[in-house]
Every structure is written in structure tokens, then in C-alpha cells.
Amino acid sequence: MAAATVDIRGYCDPAFEKVRKTFVANFKAGKERGAAAAIVIDNKPVVNIWAGNAGFTSRRPWQENTLANIYSATKGVTAICAHRLAEQGRLDLDRPVAAYWPGFEKKDKGHITVRMLLNHTAGMVAFKRRQPASALYDWNTMVSALEAQSPWWRDNTLGYHPVTYGWLVGQVIRNITGRTVGQYLKEEITGPLGLDLHIGLEPAQHHRCATMVMLRLPTIHKDCLRLTAEMIRHPFGATSCAFGNPVSIATGVNTAAWRGAEIPSANGQATALALARLYGVLAGGGTQGNTHLLSAESINRCVQETSEGMDAVLKLRTRFSLGFMLNQDNPSGSMGPGRRVFGHPGAGGALGFADPDAKMGFGYVMNKMDTFILVDPRARRLIDAAYECL
């Protein structure tokens, strides 16, 4: 997008003018098609800006209520649901998954705890048996396939669960609450807080979704090239199956089937402000108005590292608490200088995180997808600017 056509809409507190300028710079450098960024400090929005086009071939302007697919940033949202149940005493994170999901113990899975699902050490990273593309949108089919699946390993190896995480944690939530993850999220969290964030979007709202656009191959980042090479070398290995089985994981994001399904690891639809406000509640102490989300003790649990090391799926070092990525030991995984930051990035660039020490919630969404595996440089530039403004 040419510099002359960058039209930034929304609100930015003068104290955070550097964030707005950085947002403009991302567009001027040709890094964005459409995007939004938001920052909440002490439960007060100080930045909520957007610009560009929400469509691919059409010049449909990005609007305040444009929704973007946030991919794996959905995992953090799902984790918040699990932590809320744990705080209420309805979920014991150290009990076997089978205590909440009878039948899960089959195929040598009786040792797997809920904690292991949340911190990616369960070894249930992918389906070994090829699944049809349509299975991605059929919850019962995916759950049955997981029951029939044995772990890829049993030694607490850290291996990111890019898609199966949603059904694994989601089925535990469903069996405890009697509600789908999307229903629980809406009724217990996003509805009371007034957040425009959805897992399983109603058809009447699909017109608000941005069209996600993949970058061309020459722009692939080295981490993604490493991942792609692993998939080519081992087409039936854990990494290849985790990202490509069912195959529609990579191709269906702009379809009505994808947007309407509940895939609590990958298909959340959100505005940047919704992500920033959600994490802002956690950064601000866990309560906003009359709505309690999590206690200080629960938030502290979100911050504590529970798994770390060379990731057997992503093929780089990662750090997790229970359901959240933490600041990584490499620059590409940085969510700023905060020592207690927790959140989750999504494929292509989306990101939401909380910094309890700064009382800051951050949200960034876009539709021009980049190939960085952890934190996208566009978001990192905005984060750096935000901390300079504090």
C-alpha cells in the first residue's frame, strides 16, 4: 500500500503516538494489506487503530468490527477457559485426561494429564492415520480419532500440538461443562465482557471476516523453510502430520465451513481490541467491572514455565506455561521486555498477550500472512513502540 493511501482510523492516546507511527510504517513498507492493533493499560484502551483492506481482490475497507482469523492465538483463549474451570475447582490440571474423558485412556494414553495437554508434552501432536478433509469440521470424528490414536512419544517430550490441542483441551471442557468451547467462551467470558471474539462464528457474521492472504514463496522465513524441509524429508512424520492432516487445515481458512466450525486451536475470529481487552483483564488483576475472569493465583499459574526445550514439532526451542507461550530465548519469540508476559501468537502474524507488571493487554490482527513461526516482526515493532511509550 503506497504511503499516500495509508488511512489510519480509530483512536490513539497521544502518549502512544509512536505506536501509531509504527503501524503506519508497517503499511508504508508494504508489509500489510489490512490490519488492526490495540493496547489496553489498566483496563483502559489507549490504542485501537485499523487500516487497509479486508478483502483480497476487492478493496473492501478494514473497519472497526472487521474480524480476522487468529489461528493459534485461539489456543490462549481456550487456555483461559480451562484455567477458569481449574479456579472453580471443576478441573484438576494434574488428573488424568481420562477422568474427564472416558475412553481417552485407550492406546496407551492413561498416563496423560490435563497439564500435559496444556503444555504440549502429551505426545498427541497429530493423527497418524490419514483423515479426510471434511473431518476437520466434524468434532465427533476428530474426538474419536484421538481416542484411537497412540502418543507419538511417552517421555514428556515437548512437541507443539498445532491443531489437535483444540479438540484435546476442548473435549475436556465440553465434558465438564456440557457446552462447546465456543458456547462456554461466549456465555462465561466474551459475552459478559462485551468482546468481539468467537470460536464458531454464526453465518450472519461471516461478512465481517477479513480474507486471509498468503505471501508468495520467495518471502518464506528461515524458520518456516526449516519446518517445510522437515515435512518434505519426513512426509509421514510428526511435523508433517501435525500441519497437514487433514489437508484442509492449510486450505480452508476463508470458507464458511472453517469460520462456522469450532476448532479451538486455530479458527478463532477476533478484532485486535477484543484480544487486547481480554488479556488486559488478566494484566489488570483478573476482574473488570462485575465480571471476574481469573484470580491473582490463577494468573500467576499462567506465567509459570512448565515446559521448555527443543520442540520436536516446530524444530526450534520453545517455552510454555499451561496453555500459553512465554517469551522465548530467541529474538523471534519476543513479546517485549516484560518478565511475566504470557499469550499466544498465531500463524501469519496475529498475537495477543498480557503483561501483568505493566498492566498491559496487547492485540494485533492482520490478513496479509507472513511466514514467521513465533512472533511476527510487524507485531514486534508495535510491541517495542508500546514499551517505549510506557
Q: In the predicted model, what is the mean pLDDT of the chain?
A: 93
pLDDT of 2 reads 44
Q: Between the CA of residue 5 and those of 1, 53, 128, what are the distances in Å?
A: 7, 11, 48
What domains appear along the chain, each with residue ranges and CATH number?
Answer: 3-78+184-389 (3.40.710.10)
What are the cell numbers at 45?
A: 484502551
Long-range contacts of 253-260 (CB under 8 A, 24+ apart): 253/69, 253/212, 254/209, 254/211, 254/212, 256/203, 256/206, 257/137, 258/69, 258/136, 258/137, 259/69, 259/201, 259/206, 259/209, 260/137, 260/200, 260/201, 260/202, 260/203, 260/206
pLDDT of 219 reads 59
User: Is 223 a residue whose pLDDT tops 80?
Assistant: no
pLDDT digits (tens, 9 = 90+) for 304-358: 999 999 999 999 899 999 999 999 877 788 999 999 999 999 998 999 999 999 9
Dihedral sign (CA 143, 148, 152, 156)? positive
What are the cell numbers at 48?
A: 485501537
Contact 278, 40 (CB under 8 A): no
Q: What's the distance, Cα to Cα, between the start and end of the chain in Å?
A: 30
Q: What's the pLDDT band for 6 if we cut at 50, 70, 90?
A: confident
What are the cell numbers at 287?
A: 476482574
Q: What is the pTM of this model?
A: 0.96
* Separation between Cα atoms, residue 38 and residue 40, nearest integer Å: 7
> What phi and psi values does residue 228 have, to the nearest 5 degrees?
-65, -40
pLDDT digits (tens, 9 = 90+) for 30-75: 999 999 999 999 999 999 999 999 998 778 999 999 999 999 999 9
pLDDT of 368 reads 93
pLDDT digits (tens, 9 = 90+) for 176-206: 999 999 999 999 999 999 999 999 999 999 9
Contact 367, 68 (CB under 8 A): yes
pLDDT of 358 reads 98
Burial class (CB in 10 A: 0-12, 13-18, 19+), 74: buried
Tell me the average pLDDT across 231-248. 85
User: Is 236 a residue whose pLDDT tops 90?
Assistant: no
Tell me the average pLDDT across 104-117. 98
* Separation between Cα atoms, residue 262 and residue 258, nearest integer Å: 8
pLDDT of 218 reads 46
pLDDT digits (tens, 9 = 90+) for 151-177: 999 999 999 999 999 999 999 999 999
- What is the phi-psi region of residue 158: left when phi exceeds 0, alpha when psi lies from -120 to 50, beta otherwise? beta
What are the cell numbers at 167?
A: 479438540
